[in-house]
Amino acid sequence: MAQQQISIDDALAAFRESHGKLADENVLLRAQVAGLERRVGELEQQLSPQQPAAGGPDLAAQPPYPNDEGRG
């Protein structure tokens, strides 16, 4: 395999350019995550008063289904 040589200045410029793009994308993604986490928190707060107690309703306390007598 033949080795390819480039100058350190060219390599550094290329590295900085690609690193800069990745850093910018990373910042944007972190901002999106922060926004989504905030939105999830808001939605959880809105739902918390509407949710039943832990475990859901006590089904044993519900009246039984009506009999199907008379249907045929």
Quick one: pLDDT at residue 25? Answer: 96
pTM: 0.51
Q: What is the pLDDT of residues 44-67, one digit of tens each?
A: 999 887 655 567 667 777 777 766
For range 2-11, the mean pLDDT: 89
More confident residue, 12 or 53: 12
Which residue matches tokens 């928190």? 41
pLDDT at 51: 59
Cα separation of 14 and 22, whole Å?
12
DSSP 3: -
